[in-house]
Structure 1
């Protein structure tokens, strides 16, 4: 180690021949303290050493990246190197990760790694190429790193560059490899066990970086899919469509969850208003699912035999208008407490109005529309919509007719 004005004693070389001499700057300058810049520094130093050593070939040089808290075995490294030496187009190989720790947060991450890492990376490996080799335990080819290091070391100029490059360094490095034509493989036999976050604050910060980086890099790959499919033989149009589908589902998943929850709550409110007898619902769906399918697939002789049973089922599903109308409609109670409809006045005349116009049971009510409801005296929009919703739940009744062919008939 040497500085200007003073000469420190020279340190001996490391066993592998690396020179540990450092030169300190004269003035204090700002140091880029991001993780990506430390990786650039280390990789540049290793690649410069290999360049000065003519004995070592680039095809025989690999870099193992791992974290200090990762537990792995030599056999796991050997299996990764086997994949690297088998195919010269492979730029990196990642392993299967088993998070260590205890607690509900660790249990969730174990499930997340099983779905998002084991299954997804295996699918990417089969369809084309893995898009992210985890920095906690992966092997990189030095020649692949040398080709993209000058791009990997570029500074951030736009906000999107910060999301792509500094929020997820490992994914950005792998994106550059895929764009340069290298293939990244997944080795399920090679296993490692890192310590995952146990506190929610640490977990939140980690996922905030990972999710933003994943979406930003996926969008970058989709934007340049034409160039990537031409340069990289492992990337096909099918692989690009798969990634586009995954990105689309990721973007709409929060809204989908909200819609499902809101729809469930609305259905619960509606069921509390209508108070449909559960026996009627069971009979309706039993006929809809089983009897209709049976009548479609059965022959002519069987349909004649089952005709009488279907008629009996239709009769069993018939209800008078008084039994069909919910209690709130018959007695005119206030429905505001259920949260969807205004105060109901005059509903006690609705049953009489149905009967007066000939709609005395559900066989005739099932075919009613909005105009017919208005004709019998139901003019309030909310009331009509409420009753139309009940009519949609009724099965369709058909009255069989026979046209005589001769005078005798």
Structure 2
């Protein structure tokens, strides 16, 4: 498939004169912890991102993994080619669907300004506001054309859109359009309320939670708290992502985005790496971006993992490696690809290269058949777990995080 984009020019006169955030500018205070995050991607035609927004309000509902007395919001224009004008922004307690609790609505500002502009390739960190609880609605109004939007494709959560300015409107009524992606939203931080470090779940669709039940927070990082893990956990998975190869559809490679999506998260102490199945499954074939991916070798994958390990240790971040799940019966499967998976998993188990290892293959494989997901954990495509499978992953990972 060939990916085409139609870029929309944003008139310079429509953009506020002051661009507040330049590429790479971040608050480095150590008192903040990431409480929710997502990995941003290029605009695509499968959602609202290719066209962007104009005189529209977008409301996105997320659940924080840890609360604190104050919160701040991170917005990203990483893949934008034009300055991004945000005319108004609010944060509020979700009341279900697109509705918010009226008395909880708080305006978001940057440097005290209620409207601001994010430079192309840049990221914005809002001023702090009082916490509104764990279930948070972040609402953005774009008065002027934004151009194509930086986004996260597989949110598995409903995003709402309204015409006109409804940033401070508590009602759900104007929000008649829905999407299953996130737009411009990169993270939410809280002031530290404990000494627990942040754990970043890093990987592909198995971390992103693909084929879990939408709007129920059944991804494995969400379920870690339910099985006993204490401390914030944020999700840096991208569906289809690969360890070694960049893609405009499947995201920058794990190697390219590891610093941004893991090591730059405020308060990070541990990362769980679960990636490699797409490198193997697309080896020697054409990806959804229309690019032919050459055959991958075990040595190449191991070299990639060693690169992630070196990056993590250089920053003092503990790195946990997860074996690659069984995939027999899926569209990816072949004997040669199974050989690759087996060899990589053997290295993950036996090399001692990671600070800790979790054997997800052993935990989720069918009895007597290590090549196939157990029926009770299979979503039906023989590649992705169902809600019970994601719970099983969380149950295996939680003890490794406590060690």
The structure with the greater share of residues assigned to helix is 1
Pair member with larger Rg:
1
RCO higher in structure (CA 8 A, sep ≥6) = 2
Name the TM tier (shorter chain).
Answer: under 0.3
- TM-score (normalised: structure 1): 0.25
The structure with the greater share of residues assigned to strand is 2
